[in-house]
């Protein structure tokens, strides 16, 4: 039981059978066809030698299969992680250099350890502070950056940079060096892939291919482009014409080795590793949860942390770049019928075979082809309408999203996502620090109370009823003081102020002190403070506090009780009695709700 | 009108008359008697020459009188600000050195500019993020640090340090150097002041002195101790016996001069200035609001920022240390009948006269006397029972308080308060990221619904009703997904899930996407999602969203409507109709409340 908790494999492997095997194997074959070009492409994007993308698709997948809880999540190199890796490493060494590669391994191992630690310490909730708008803005910006960064391979020029300004500047400065042959290949593959994506599906279904099969064929289009252009480059000896090729890829499997253990390097890579871990985890969990739900399955986010951590650790010791769950590959894996995490292990097998057999061929693969596949692939990441949608729904969310998007594009992925998180937290705290509150009055003839500004309601000049629509905590405690004291200062005739608390889910120590201050100040100015509709859990806490003892007024069960007791003293005598009993006991017995 | 908004003086000065004048003058005389020794003492505490304390009690008070909105707040040097100043400057120079003094002026000017900027930009709300427990823990720790740091003057030894460990270590290493005469003076003053504080009041009232007068006499006790020990030191020539005296204090008023404008110095002092400003402002506003409320007056926090900023800026250009509103002096000022901010200006006049006339005498004042007055004064800052009280009320508040207290004592004031703020924010976000939620059922025969775990209620295996007791935002959006999907996974027979939202004050974009995901996933697994008791403002926002269009279930006005419509399909037909009308219109018309 406890071993299964940490190693889910032992759980589902018992019931493994040939039927599941065949499903997993089929899915693995299809995902492998997708993964080979993607692995090479994302290594290229990360500024790493192509084999590192392949290595990142072996051991990590096996480890995820052992520790993971999602039957569909396809782990491996992904575009955003590759971009973040390139951005992080560029501060340490020049792309492709031994130091650069060494740092990449450290980055993977470090991300792995961070994720494992978070999983063991049950810190999965930390990712909650990456809000949807921030993630969405960040992913869109990343997609744009990735696409633009790949243009250089299609143009056949040298141009690097980690924000849109540097990249465009570098590209424009190089326009004379554009290599026409490369450009033709790149644009050819690009348009071919676009056509496949946009039309092929309809064509295939038109000629009677089943929708699911058609979808899989479309997903396999990149591999055919790879094969075609590879043969082209080999046959026409395009390297002579200055077409950049992937070049020699060492055949065989990676050697296991500890990454560079230099402490200073680990420390300086820590922030980048943290960001890559969090972003990768959020993306993986989202897709895994979505796919799991389709089969009414569930995944364990904290176990996912450990599994993804193991996968990255594995990448770090087997010559791979940082990995996470890829969206498109996971969907294909799901649609192809992957039944258990073992599908991932079989995919790793497929990649190993490819590495053993195909490396001589892959040497002739034009980088322009890979660039085109990346550009088309990241097209799915870019969601600009979401900005408009979010902005229309909520200004503060829109603001956080736009800030993340622009700062990522114009400065760097690190600054982009960090400012997004800080801004969204700040805006949330600012909003809750000035909660919505309404002076309410009685809807004539009913027991209901409404905002005096919105409805025709009865009020009493001696009684002010204030409804606070927010939990009371330190950030809005002083605002509460100001609101209530302003209310008291406005109407000198005021004898009673009733705080209606049905929306108050918590009163923390700061708010409690503010309530004590309000109570004392109102008392000094000759008015009483009352509470109404205090929730059970909140009341439980208030019971034994000085505030509850010193409260000049009463704690009413409902706003209507308060109204009856305070607003009409004449007729109040009889209804007052139960209310008073309510009040005298209310500080020592918890109110319902 | 607009000028009065920025310069309140012009507002109240018109209605100024002789009666108010006499009240302000009397209060000024009493506060001056308190302020002279305190000004010298806090300069000593800040590691500055005594005259800087006096200078900080002249121009700043005049400026506050012009821009301030509190009739009672007594501005000037205060203990905590002095401690923070000493701690901040110790990184730049040795106490008393010209660089140290120059940095102190920059610190004051910088705090002033920060406060003014916050006031102009209406950033007063920022102080809300200093929670009561953090402030309280910080003040208590500061009081303890101050008291211990003053022991060296009473023992007549050299010992410095910015946390309790350094201070105690330094004191213990010096125990042989203790100067008996100094010790006698220190202990004598100390016990005298304690007796005054504890007993004098009762004695005076016993012999028929009115309570208020008695209180003021008690407050004036320090000045008599100052006079007595000064005469003693002068008459017995105690300096010969190694008793440390205040020494030559330059007579006359300070010269106005710009502080050192070196940019690097300003930048490195910025964090300390920010902390001093915020803490000083929080303390000032709290006492000002409390006193104002006693007379049903109000203060304008943002104008207070400007006034305190001007005061600190004034200190910076007139040779003074950072200032803020002192608690004890303000209370005395209030009790003595101060009627307008002009009382502060008169106090400044009193300090000027003292500086012109008394400096020759003050030279003979033993520092032990000042140390004793500080120790007794800060006794009122230390509130250890508050720790227990806060801990009992709320673990998270208690944790933030203890962390602030311990880190301030054991490390430094800066680390103490910063970690307190970060911790309290983190704990608040953590709490709201895992909101209280309850599966509810119908209280038989009523329209009320309660937690199934707490009450005997009716439930329906096809319908699960979940009440979320928190606003839905990014930090708890994923938690919501987990909670709902766990609910769905537990009971396969589930057809309907109803989210009851009476405690949901906001649904941000992240929560909206989570709701969309929940809706889609429940749909995939054959269950419908419904909402109930959605608040007006929240519904207004939801109306035009995709979620509202794609919602598989309905939006019910009340939980009972949902129960009628879903739990008892048989008898639902007639009550369903209004509910359905409710539902079909609910996405285009705002629900009440």
pLDDT digit string, tens, across residues A23-67: 999 899 989 988 998 999 999 899 999 999 999 999 999 999 999
- With H, G, I as helix, E, B as strand and everything else as coil, classify residue A360: helix
pLDDT at A253 over 90: no
- With H, G, I as helix, E, B as strand and everything else as coil, classify residue A497: strand
Q: Residue B443's closest chain A neighbor by CA?
A: A593
CB-nearest to B509 from A133, A432, A541 is: A133
Angstrom distance (rounded) from CA A156 to CA A149: 12
What end-to-end distance do the CA atoms of chain A give, in Å? 39
Any CB–CB contact under 8 A between B437 and chain A? Answer: no
Give the residue-averaged pLDDT of A505-513. Answer: 89
Angstrom distance (rounded) from CA A35 to CA A58: 11
pLDDT of residue A583: 38
Angstrom distance (rounded) from CA B137 to CA B389: 12
pLDDT at B489 over 50: yes
pLDDT of residue B311: 97
Which range has the worst mean pLDDT, A218-222, B147-151, B164-168, B329-333? Answer: A218-222
Give the residue-averaged pLDDT of A486-496. Answer: 85
pLDDT at B574 over 70: no
Taking contacts as CB-CB distances below 8 angstroms, the residues of chain A near B436 are 505, 537
pLDDT of residue A344: 94
pLDDT of residue A4: 78
CB-nearest to A474 from B289, B424, B479 is: B424
Query: A144 CA to chain B: closest CA distance, Å?
Result: 22
Angstrom distance (rounded) from CA A131 to CA A421: 7
Give tens-digit pLDDT for B184-235: 999 999 999 999 888 888 888 889 888 878 877 887 788 889 999 999 999 9
| The CATH number fitting domain B434-585, selected from 3.40.50.720, 1.10.3720.10, 3.90.850.10, 3.30.750.24 | 3.30.750.24
Give tens-digit pLDDT for A450-460: 888 878 888 88
The ipTM value here is: 0.76
Question: How sure is the predictor about B591, in pLDDT bands with cuts at 50, 70 and 90?
Answer: very low
Query: B116 CA to chain A: closest CA distance, Å?
Result: 20
Angstrom distance (rounded) from CA B407 to CA B134: 11
Question: How sure is the predictor about A257, in pLDDT bands with cuts at 50, 70 and 90?
Answer: confident
Question: Is the pLDDT higher at B43 or at B433?
Answer: B43
Q: Residue A125's closest chain B neighbor by CA?
A: B433
Residues in a beta bridge with A76: A324
pLDDT of residue A294: 75
Most confident of A93-102, A304-313, B24-33, B247-256: A304-313
pLDDT of residue B568: 65
Question: Is the pLDDT higher at A236 or at A589?
Answer: A236
pLDDT of residue B270: 93
pLDDT of residue B119: 92
Angstrom distance (rounded) from CA B269 to CA A3: 54
Q: What is the mean pLDDT of chain B?
A: 87
- Among residues B383, B433, B415, B421, the alpha carbon closest in space to that of B131 is found at B421
Most confident of A64-68, B507-511, B525-529: A64-68
pLDDT of residue A14: 85
- Among residues A370, A316, A415, the alpha carbon closest in space to that of A146 is found at A370
Taking contacts as CB-CB distances below 8 angstroms, the residues of chain A near B502 are 502-503
Q: Which of A293, A481, A495 to mutate to test the interface with B (most CBs of B within 10 A)?
A: A293
Q: What residues contact residue B103 under an 8 Å CB cut-off, 6+ apart?
A: B89, B92, B93, B260, B265, B269
pLDDT of residue A568: 65
C-beta separation of A495 from A527 below 8 A: yes
Question: How sure is the predictor about B1, in pLDDT bands with cuts at 50, 70 and 90?
Answer: low
Give tens-digit pLDDT for A275-315: 999 999 988 988 888 788 777 677 888 899 999 999 999 99
pLDDT at A593 over 80: no
CA torsion, ordered A575, A450, A497, B71, to nearest 10 deg: -170
- Among residues B378, B329, B353, B291, the alpha carbon closest in space to that of B70 is found at B291
CB-nearest to A524 from B293, B545, B592 is: B293
C-beta separation of A220 from A328 below 8 A: no
- DSSP sequence for A178-229: --HHHHHHHHHHHHHHHHIIIIIHHHHHHTT--HHHHHHHHHTHHHHHHHHH
Chain-chain contact of A477 with B132 (C-beta, under 8 angstroms): yes
Query: Which tokens go with B340?
Result: 């307008």
Chain-chain contact of B505 with A469 (C-beta, under 8 angstroms): yes
Q: What residues contact residue A574 under an 8 Å CB cut-off, 6+ apart?
A: none
- With H, G, I as helix, E, B as strand and everything else as coil, classify residue B499: strand
Q: Residue B468's closest chain A neighbor by CA?
A: A505
- Tell me the CA distances in angstroms from A80 to A241, A416, B89, B510, one per residue in order: 32, 13, 46, 21
pLDDT at A574 over 50: no
CB-nearest to A513 from B132, B429, B510 is: B132
Chain-chain contact of B470 with A471 (C-beta, under 8 angstroms): yes
Q: Strands, E, within A258-366: which ranges?
A: 324-326
Give the helix ranges, DSSP H, for B411-529: 413-433, 474-490, 509-524
Which range has the worst mean pLDDT, A356-370, A485-499, A560-574, B579-593? Answer: B579-593
Any CB–CB contact under 8 A between A121 and chain B? Answer: no
C-beta separation of A472 from A480 below 8 A: yes
Angstrom distance (rounded) from CA B189 to CA B224: 10
Angstrom distance (rounded) from CA A79 to CA B253: 69
At residue A16, what are phi and psi to the nearest 5 degrees? -75, 140
- With H, G, I as helix, E, B as strand and everything else as coil, classify residue A74: strand
Give tens-digit pLDDT for B511-523: 998 899 899 888 8
pLDDT of residue A576: 38
Any CB–CB contact under 8 A between A293 and chain B? Answer: yes
Q: B180: how many CB neighbours lie within 10 A of its CB?
A: 12
Angstrom distance (rounded) from CA A112 to CA A105: 11
C-beta separation of B333 from B14 below 8 A: no
pLDDT at B577 over 70: no
pLDDT at A504 over 60: yes
Q: What residues contact residue A274 under an 8 Å CB cut-off, 6+ apart?
A: A114
Q: What is the mean pLDDT of chain A?
A: 87
Q: Token match 């007052």: residue?
A: A576
pLDDT of residue B262: 86
Q: A343: how many CB neighbours lie within 10 A of its CB?
A: 30
Q: In this complex, how many residue pairs, one in chain A and one in chain B, have their CB atoms less than 8 Å apart? A: 193
Query: Which tokens go with B165?
Result: 């460990």
Question: How sure is the predictor about B162, in pLDDT bands with cuts at 50, 70 and 90?
Answer: confident
- Among residues A284, A292, A282, A306, the alpha carbon closest in space to that of A8 is found at A306
Q: Which residues belong to CATH 3.30.750.24 in chain B?
A: 434-585
- Among residues A429, A485, A515, the alpha carbon closest in space to that of B130 is found at A429
- Among residues B14, B78, B83, B77, the alpha carbon closest in space to that of B51 is found at B77
pLDDT of residue B586: 43
Taking contacts as CB-CB distances below 8 angstroms, the residues of chain A near B133 are 474, 509-510
Angstrom distance (rounded) from CA A310 to CA A104: 16
DSSP B324: E
pLDDT at A581 over 60: no
Give tens-digit pLDDT for B383-394: 999 999 999 998
Which residues, numbered 524 to 543 in chain B, qualify as contacts with chain A under a Cβ-Cβ cut-off of 8 Å?
Answer: 524-525, 535, 537, 541
Q: Provide the percentage of residues in chain A whose pLDDT is more than 90.
A: 41
Taking contacts as CB-CB distances below 8 angstroms, the residues of chain B near A477 are 128, 131-132
Q: Which helix (H) or strand (E) is B439 found in, with range?
A: strand B437-442
- Tell me the CA distances in angstroms from A136 to A45, A76, B520, B545, one per residue in order: 21, 21, 19, 17
Give tens-digit pLDDT for A363-393: 899 999 989 988 988 888 899 999 999 998 9
Taking contacts as CB-CB distances below 8 angstroms, the residues of chain B near A289 are 481, 485, 517, 521
Give the residue-averaged pLDDT of B459-470. Answer: 89
Taking contacts as CB-CB distances below 8 angstroms, the residues of chain B near A398 are 509
Angstrom distance (rounded) from CA B245 to CA A46: 69
pLDDT of residue A60: 96
Give the helix ranges, DSSP H, for A379-534: 385-393, 395-410, 413-433, 474-490, 509-524
């Amino acid at each position: 039981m406890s071993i299964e908790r940490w190693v889910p494999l032992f759980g589902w492997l018992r019931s493994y059978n040939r039927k599941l095997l065949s499903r997993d194997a089929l899915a693995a074959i299809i995902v492998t066809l997708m993964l080979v070009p993607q692995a090479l492409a994302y290594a290229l994007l990360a500024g790493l030698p192509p084999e590192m993308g392949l290595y990142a698709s072996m051991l990590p997948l096996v480890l995820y299969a052992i520790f993971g809880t999602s039957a569909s999540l396809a782990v491996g190199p992904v575009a955003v992680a590759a971009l973040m890796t390139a951005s992080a490493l560029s501060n340490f060494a020049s792309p492709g250099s031994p130091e650069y590669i060494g740092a990449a391994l450290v980055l993977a191992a470090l991300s792995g350890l961070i994720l494992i630690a978070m999983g063991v310490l049950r810190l999965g909730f930390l990712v909650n502070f990456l809000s949807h708008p921030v993630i969405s803005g960040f992913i869109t910006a990343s997609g744009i950056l990735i696409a633009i960064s790949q243009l250089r391979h299609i143009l056949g020029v040298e141009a690097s940079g980690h924000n849109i300004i540097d990249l465009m500047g570098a590209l424009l400065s190089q326009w004379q060096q554009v290599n026409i042959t490369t450009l033709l290949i790149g644009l050819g593959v690009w348009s071919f892939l676009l056509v496949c994506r946009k039309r092929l599906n309809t064509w295939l279904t038109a000629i009677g291919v089943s929708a699911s099969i058609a979808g899989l064929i479309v997903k396999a289009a990149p591999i055919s482009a790879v094969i075609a252009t590879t043969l082209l480059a080999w046959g026409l000896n395009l390297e002579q014409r200055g077409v950049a090729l992937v070049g020699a890829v060492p055949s065989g499997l990676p050697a296991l080795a500890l990454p560079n253990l230099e402490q200073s390097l680990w420390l300086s890579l820590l922030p980048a590793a943290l960001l890559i871990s969090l972003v990768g985890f959020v993306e993986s969990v989202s897709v895994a949860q979505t796919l799991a739900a389709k089969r009414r399955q569930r995944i364990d986010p904290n176990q996912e942390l450990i599994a993804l951590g193991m996968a990255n650790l594995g990448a770090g010791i087997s010559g791979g770049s940082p990995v996470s769950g890829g969206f498109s590959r996971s969907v294909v894996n799901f649609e192809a019928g992957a039944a258990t995490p073992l599908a991932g292990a079989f995919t790793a097998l497929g990649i190993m075979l490819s590495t053993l057999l195909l490396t001589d061929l892959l040497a002739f693969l034009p980088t322009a082809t890979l660039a085109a596949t990346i550009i088309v692939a990241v097209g799915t990441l870019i969601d600009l309408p979401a900005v408009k949608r979010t902005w229309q729904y909520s200004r503060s969310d829109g603001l956080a999203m736009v800030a993340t998007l622009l700062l990522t594009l114009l400065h760097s992925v690190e600054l982009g996502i960090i400012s997004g998180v800080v801004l969204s937290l700040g805006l949330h705290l600012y909003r809750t620090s000035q909660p919505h509150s309404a002076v309410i009055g009685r809807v004539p003839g009913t027991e209901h109370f409404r905002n005096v500004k919105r409805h025709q309601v009865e009020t009493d000049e001696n009684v002010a009823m204030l409804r606070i629509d927010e939990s009371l905590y330190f950030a809005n405690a002083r605002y509460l003081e100001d609101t209530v004291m302003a209310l008291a200062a406005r109407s000198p005739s005021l004898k009673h102020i009733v705080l209606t608390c049905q929306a108050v889910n918590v009163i923390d120590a700061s708010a409690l002190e503010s309530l004590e201050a309000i109570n004392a100040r109102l008392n000094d100015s000759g008015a009483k403070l009352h509470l109404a509709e205090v929730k059970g859990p909140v009341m439980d806490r208030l019971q034994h506090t000085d505030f509850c003892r010193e409260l000049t007024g009463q704690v009413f069960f409902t706003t209507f009780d308060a109204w009856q007791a305070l607003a009409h003293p004449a007729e109040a005598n009889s209804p007052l009695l139960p209310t008073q009993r309510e009040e005298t006991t209310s500080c020592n017995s918890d109110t319902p709700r």
